[in-house]
Amino acid sequence: MLKEREQWKSRLGFILAATGSAVGLGNVWRFPFVAGEQGGAAFLVIYLIAVAFIGYPLMVTEISIGRKTQRNPIGAFKALAPNTPWWIVGGVSVLAGFIILSYYSVIAGWSLAFIIESIAGFPEGIEATDQLFGGHKTGIAKPIFYHALFMVIVIGVISAGVVKGIQRVVQWLMPILVVLLLMVVVRSVTLPGASEGIAFLFRPDFSAVSWDTILSAVGQSFFTLSLGMGAIITYGSYLSAKENIPSSSVQVIGADTLIAIISGLAIFPAVFALGFAPDEGAGLVFVTLPAVFAEMPFGGGVGFLFFVLLSIAALTSAISLLEVVVSYFVDEKDWPRKKAAASIGIAAFFVGLLPVLGYSALDHIKFLGMDILDTYDFFADSIMLPLGGALTAAFAGHVWSTKSLMEEANKESKSFRIGSWVGPFLKYIIPIGIIIVMIAGIIEVL
Ligand code: PFF
Ligand code: NA
């Protein structure tokens, strides 16, 4: 007998949950610094094109696969292509979800720790904040404690269920996140000298555009939208048949893009106004910004708000990562939800201990020069996500068929429909484009 499957209680519930999954470290930290490095507005234009022609079709495809099959990613591929090896694509998704969760929680733990540091007050000067972050990262007890704390919260939300857990949490946290972000923006753009930072983000510097810019824009477009690893398939599986998939997709993508741009407006004006460098990578958020907060008026409060909002963004993404794996064990192995959430979350915690210790006890372990956290990130983001996205697109175009996809996606939409142009995109342009990006990305690391 089929178990009654939970459904989002409203269309807004789904939109907020999917937006919560999408809006994460990718928006608040990654987008601003990549955009800055890759020519500001020039990058933005290419990124928007990638979002429209790769992100949008893939988002519609993943939601449709989920809703059609009402299954976790592995079960979904099994249902649409029985007795074929296509379920492996879902398997890669579930595995990627597990691995990303294990180190996403480590970074989120740093963010939780910095909420506390912001209350104590950040030290002045980049050397001091560099030492603060370095000291935290290379510790053992503290980073493990915050990693555990974050994972416990994620497990708690997922244990409570789709509606009582995920939907309730995102309905509270997403509006709070937007308000906090806007408060930080207001402080940032009103600092004397802020306009330079705004120009940095919006001035189209086409001379900075290279092959690498295109690769970064494509990579960013589906990492930021949580595509290529089944999170959106899973959330789509809880979507009611009444909802309009193409317009929901546009709303989620629009919100994610807007929050990425607003994050840039929160960060760069302050960084420039206080004379810091914008190209610190991972250090932008954990080293440069604390130094900025230490020196600006009301910086203590702004720093506190910033790390609260970063932690919220990470939480609403992490719950979607755990839900992918949990839905598999609930659907296919009949595990009770609570047991699945706790055991998988704890397992991810242990797998995440390696990247934590990669900065201390295990700091001699390097893969291609990368520490353990960067190695996890490389395998998940540069190999598994792109592979998952390319194969999902190819599957939808060639195996499930564009016709079935369009039927499911357009079921409830008379006016806002996805057109037949998605056919060639799913069959050829997206898979080939992603594979090129992936290979180029791998070559770059080697
Ligand atoms: N979209 C998230 C971000 O921008 O930080 C990252 C992410 C979350 C990727 C969930 C994949 C995923 F399934
Ligand atoms: Na994102």
Is the distance from the beta carbon of residue 317 to the nearest atom of ligand 1 less than 6 Å?
yes
- Quote the DSSP letter at residue 208: G
Q: Provide the residue ranges of all domains of the chain, joining segments of one domain with +.
A: 11-445
Mutate to test the pocket of ligand 1, among 223, 383, 384 (most ligand atoms within 8 A of CB): 223
For 391, the enclosing helix (H) or strand (E) is: helix 385-394
Atom of ligand 1 nearest to the CA of 22: 1
Closest ligand 1 atom to Cα of 317: 8
Q: What is the rounded distance in angstroms from the CA atom of residue 193 to the CA atom of residue 361?
A: 43
CB burial readout 281-313, b (16+ within 10 A) else e: ebbbbbbbbbbbbbebeebbebbbbbbbbbbbb
Dist. CA 256–CA 262, nearest whole Å: 10
Q: Does residue 224's CB lie within 6 angstroms of at least one atom of ligand 1?
A: yes
Amino acid 195: pLDDT: 95
Which ligand 1 atom is nearest residue 230's CA? 13
- pLDDT value of residue 1: 40
One-letter identity of residue 216: S
Q: Is 32 in the pocket of ligand 1 (CB under 6 A)?
A: no
- As a whole number of Å, the end-to-end CA separation of the chain is 51
pLDDT < 70 regions, the chain: 1-3, 281-282, 445
CB 238 within 8 A of CB 162: yes
The enclosing H or E element of 124 equals none
**What is the pTM (predicted TM-score) of this model?**
0.94
Taking the C-alpha atoms of residue 364 and residue 342, their distance in angstroms, rounded to an integer, is 32
Q: Is the Cα torsion angle 387, 393, 259, 315 positive or negative in sign? A: negative
Owner of token pair 């963004």: 313
Per DSSP, the three-state class of 10 is coil
What's the pLDDT score for residue 372?
95
Two tokens, residue 184: 């930080």
Q: Say yes or no: CB of residue 22 within 6 Å of ligand 1.
A: yes
Distance CA 393, CA 102 (A): 26
pLDDT of amino acid 2? 53
- By CB atoms closer than 10 A (0-12, 13-18, 19+), residue 338 is middle
228 CA → ligand 1 middle, Å: 10
pLDDT score recorded for residue 69: 97
Give residue 436's Cα distance to chain centre: 22
The CATH class that applies to domain 11-445 reads: mainly alpha
Write the DSSP string, 325-354. HHHHHHHHH---HHHHHHHHHHHHHHHHHH
